[in-house]
Structure 1
Amino acid sequence: MRALYFALPFMLFAPALHAEEIALNSRVSAVTLYPQGATVTRQVPFSIPAGQHDLILADLPQNTPLAAIRVAVTGAQMGGVTTRNDYVPPRDASELPALIAARAEVERLEEALRKARADVEDIALEAEAARARIAFLAEIGQGDGVAALGVDALRELSTMIGSETLAARRAATDATRRAETAERGLKDRIEALEDAQRALAALVPEDKARAMLAVAVASDQPATGTLSVTYTINDAGWQPLYDLHLARDTGELRLERGAFVQQYTGENWRDVALTLSTLRPSAQSEPGQIWPWIPRIEDPDDIRPKSRQLERADGALMQMAEPVMEAAAPARIEADAQFDGLSVTYTYPEPISVSTGADRVRLSLGTLATTADVVAQAVPMVDQTAFVMARLTNDTGELILPTSEARFYLDGRYVGQRWIDLVPAGGKVDWSFGAIEGLRLTRLVRDRNEGDRGIISKSNEMTETVEISVENLTDAAWPLRVLDRVPQSDQEYLEITWSAKPQPSERDVEGQRGILAWEFALPPGQTQDIILTHALKWPAGQVLR
Structure 2
Amino acid sequence: MKKNLTIVALALTTVMTWAQKPVFTPAKLESARVYFNSAELTHKAKVKLPKGTSEVVITNVADYLNESTIQIGSISEVTVMAIQYSNRYVEEYDSAVDSPLLKPVRDSIKLVQTELKKVNNAIDVESRTIDLLDSNQKVGGEQGTTTAEVMKMVDYYKTKRLQLSTELDKLNEKKEDLNTRLTNLQDKLAFNEGKSEKSSKGKLIIQVMNDREGEVPFQIKYLTNAASWKPFYDLRVEKINSPVKVVYKADVKQSSGIDWRGVNLSLTSGVANQSNVIPTWRTWFLDYNTYVTTSAYNRNANKKLNVMADMSAKMSYETESSSMLKDAVVYEESTMSTFTQVNESQLNVSFDINIPYTVMSNNKSHSVTLNDFSIPAEYKYYVAPKLDLNAYLVATIKDYGNYNLLTGEANVIFDGVYVGKTTLNPANTEEEMKLNMGKDPKVAVTRILLKDKSGTKMLSSKKSQNFVYDITVRNNKAEQINIQVEDQYPISSNKDIEVELTETSSGKLNEEKGLVKWDLRLKGNESKSVRFGYQVRSDKNQILDLK
- Interval of TM-score (by shorter of Structure 1 and Structure 2): 0.5 to 0.7
Structure 1 residue 216 corresponds to structure 2 residue 208: yes
Structure 1 residue 368 corresponds to structure 2 residue 376: no
Output the CA distance in 1 between the equivalents of 2:103 and 2:412: 43
Q: 1:12-31, aligned counterparts within 5 Å?
A: 17-18=16-17, 21-31=22-32
In the TM superposition, residue 77 of structure 1 has moved relative to its aligned partner by: 3.1
Write the letter of the residue equivalent to 2:503: A
Which residue of structure 2 aligns with residue 275 of structure 1? 266
How does the TM-score come out when normalised to structure 2?
A: 0.60
Write the letter of the residue equivalent to 1:490: S
Output the CA distance in 2 between the equivalents of 1:544 and 1:279: 46
SS of corresponding position for 2:251: strand
Residues 82-91 or 234-243, more deviating: 82-91
In the TM superposition, residue 363 of structure 1 has moved relative to its aligned partner by: 1.4
Q: Percent identity between the aligned chains?
A: 15
Output the CA distance in 1 between the equivalents of 2:345 and 2:513: 29
Which residue of structure 2 aligns with residue 81 of structure 1? 82
Q: 1:66 to 1:530 in 2, by over 3 A?
A: same
Structure 1 residue 92 corresponds to structure 2 residue 100: yes
Which residue of structure 1 aligns with residue 447 of structure 2? 443
Output the CA distance in 1 between the equivalents of 2:516 and 2:199: 64
Which residue of structure 1 aligns with residue 360 of structure 2? 355
Tell whether the 8 Å contact from 2:502 to 2:535 is kept in structure 1 after alignment: no
In the TM superposition, residue 396 of structure 1 has moved relative to its aligned partner by: 5.0
Output the CA distance in 2 between the equivalents of 1:426 and 1:457: 45
Write the letter of the residue equivalent to 2:201: A
SS of corresponding position for 1:538: strand
Structure 1 residue 246 corresponds to structure 2 residue 237: yes
Which residue of structure 2 aligns with residue 326 of structure 1? none
Structure 1 residue 480 corresponds to structure 2 residue 472: no
Structure 1 residue 391 corresponds to structure 2 residue 382: no
Output the CA distance in 2 between the equivalents of 1:81 and 1:367: 47
Output the CA distance in 2 between the equivalents of 1:469 and 1:426: 31
Which residue of structure 2 aligns with residue 532 of structure 1? 532
In the TM superposition, residue 539 of structure 1 has moved relative to its aligned partner by: 4.5
Q: 1:52 to 1:504 in 2, by over 3 A?
A: same
Structure 1 segments unaligned to the other structure (5+ residues): 1-13, 101-200, 284-338
Q: 1:125-204, aligned counterparts within 5 Å?
A: none
Structure 1 residue 416 corresponds to structure 2 residue 420: yes
Which residue of structure 2 aligns with residue 235 of structure 1? 226
In the TM superposition, residue 457 of structure 1 has moved relative to its aligned partner by: 4.3
Output the CA distance in 1 between the equivalents of 2:219 and 2:235: 41
Q: 1:207 to 1:367 in 2, by over 3 A?
A: closer
Which residue of structure 1 aligns with residue 44 of structure 2? 43
Which residue of structure 2 aligns with residue 286 of structure 1? none
**C-alpha distance after superposition, 1:25-75 (max 9, x if no partner):** 112221110122111111223443433333321333443333432222224
Write the letter of the residue equivalent to 2:491: Q
Which residue of structure 1 aligns with residue 523 of structure 2? 523
Which residue of structure 2 aligns with residue 379 of structure 1? 384
In the TM superposition, residue 494 of structure 1 has moved relative to its aligned partner by: 1.7
SS of corresponding position for 1:69: strand
Structure 1 residue 266 corresponds to structure 2 residue 257: yes
Out of 506, 509, 523, the residue aligned to residue 503 of structure 1 is: 506
**C-alpha distance after superposition, 1:409-431 (max 9, x if no partner):** 22333222344335469753322
In the TM superposition, residue 504 of structure 1 has moved relative to its aligned partner by: 1.7
**C-alpha distance after superposition, 1:209-230 (max 9, x if no partner):** 33332131321x3455431221
Q: 1:234 to 1:96 in 2, by over 3 A?
A: farther
In the TM superposition, residue 534 of structure 1 has moved relative to its aligned partner by: 0.6
Q: 1:349 to 1:515 in 2, by over 3 A?
A: same
Structure 1 residue 493 corresponds to structure 2 residue 492: no
Q: 1:241 to 1:52 in 2, by over 3 A?
A: same
Write the letter of the residue equivalent to 2:241: T
Which residue of structure 2 aligns with residue 464 of structure 1? 467
Output the CA distance in 2 between the equivalents of 1:96 and 1:496: 85
In the TM superposition, residue 245 of structure 1 has moved relative to its aligned partner by: 1.3
Q: 1:30 to 1:207 in 2, by over 3 A?
A: closer
Output the CA distance in 1 between the equivalents of 2:411 and 2:420: 6
SS of corresponding position for 1:397: helix
Write the letter of the residue equivalent to 2:45: V
Output the CA distance in 1 between the equivalents of 2:55 and 2:195: 33
**C-alpha distance after superposition, 1:4-30 (max 9, x if no partner):** xxxxxxxxxx97643564322112221
Tell whether the 8 Å contact from 1:394 to 1:426 is kept in structure 2 after alignment: no
Tell whether the 8 Å contact from 1:370 to 1:396 is kept in structure 2 after alignment: no
Aligned length: 365
In the TM superposition, residue 441 of structure 1 has moved relative to its aligned partner by: 1.0
Output the CA distance in 1 between the equivalents of 2:37 and 2:452: 56
Which residue of structure 1 aligns with residue 455 of structure 2? 455
In the TM superposition, residue 382 of structure 1 has moved relative to its aligned partner by: 3.6
Output the CA distance in 1 between the equivalents of 2:378 and 2:365: 35
Q: 1:67 to 1:476 in 2, by over 3 A?
A: closer
Q: 1:253 to 1:79 in 2, by over 3 A?
A: same
Output the CA distance in 2 between the equivalents of 1:343 and 1:202: 41
Write the letter of the residue equivalent to 2:434: D
Q: 1:84 to 1:523 in 2, by over 3 A?
A: closer
In the TM superposition, residue 476 of structure 1 has moved relative to its aligned partner by: 1.7
Which residue of structure 2 aligns with residue 11 of structure 1? none
Output the CA distance in 1 between the equivalents of 2:57 and 2:431: 51
In the TM superposition, residue 375 of structure 1 has moved relative to its aligned partner by: 0.9
Out of 423, 429, 436, the residue aligned to residue 432 of structure 1 is: 436
Write the letter of the residue equivalent to 2:523: P
Output the CA distance in 2 between the equivalents of 1:340 and 1:486: 46
In the TM superposition, residue 484 of structure 1 has moved relative to its aligned partner by: 0.9
Write the letter of the residue equivalent to 1:34: Y
**C-alpha distance after superposition, 1:315-374 (max 9, x if no partner):** xxxxxxxxxxxxxxxxxxxxxxxx996311001111122221165322110113211110
Structure 2 segments unaligned to the other structure (5+ residues): 1-12, 109-192, 274-343
SS of corresponding position for 1:18: helix
Which residue of structure 2 aligns with residue 319 of structure 1? none
SS of corresponding position for 2:491: coil
The root-mean-square deviation of aligned C-alpha atoms, in Å, is 3.5
Q: 1:541 to 1:380 in 2, by over 3 A?
A: closer
How does the TM-score come out when normalised to structure 1?
A: 0.60
SS of corresponding position for 1:68: strand
Write the letter of the residue equivalent to 2:202: R
Which residue of structure 1 aligns with residue 405 of structure 2? 400
Output the CA distance in 2 between the equivalents of 1:399 and 1:216: 44
**C-alpha distance after superposition, 1:178-210 (max 9, x if no partner):** xxxxxxxxxxxxxxxxxxxxxxx9987645633
SS of corresponding position for 1:265: coil
**C-alpha distance after superposition, 1:480-501 (max 9, x if no partner):** 1111111111222221111434
Write the letter of the residue equivalent to 1:439: V
Which residue of structure 2 aligns with residue 4 of structure 1? none
Tell whether the 8 Å contact from 1:240 to 1:402 is kept in structure 2 after alignment: yes
Which residue of structure 2 aligns with residue 191 of structure 1? none
**C-alpha distance after superposition, 1:113-145 (max 9, x if no partner):** xxxxxxxxxxxxxxxxxxxxxxxxxxxxxxxxx
Tell whether the 8 Å contact from 1:395 to 1:426 is kept in structure 2 after alignment: no
Tell whether the 8 Å contact from 1:394 to 1:424 is kept in structure 2 after alignment: no
